[in-house]
Amino acid sequence: MFGVSNDTPADNKAFRDKNDFPFALLSDTDRSVGTAYETTRDPGEKFADFPKRISYLINPDGVITHHYEVTDPGGHAGVVLADLEAAQR
């Protein structure tokens, strides 16, 4: 598991350390990953400088099996873990 942000590596490290995340935050300062995974916003959209909060569950073959638009950050991990557990059955 990892996160991707438009922020610099130093900013991501500080944010990760502050929040004690148990996963890496990768920097996508040129927004190429965001473009590929459709997390960028249209220029006229509110919060256009920030990526959409989207998560993907990707299987061992590299296939996206689930796509999540994160609306409840607190409950999101539980939803993903339930889908992962169901996929492993």
pTM confidence score: 0.78
How does residue 85 score in pLDDT terms, banded at 50, 70 and 90? very high
CA 17, distance to chain mean position in Å, is 17
User: What residue type is assigned to position 71 of the chain?
Assistant: T
pLDDT tens-digit map of 20-76: 998 999 999 999 999 999 999 999 999 998 999 999 999 999 999 999 999 998 999
Mention every residue, 6+ apart, whose C-beta is less than 8 A from residue 28: 4, 5, 6, 34, 51
| Spans of all domains in the chain | 1-51, 53-89
Question: Is the backbone of residue 62 left (phi > 0), alpha (psi -120 to 50) or beta?
Answer: left
pLDDT above 90 for 1: no
What tokens appear for 8 in the block?
Answer: 């610099």
What's the pLDDT at 89? 86
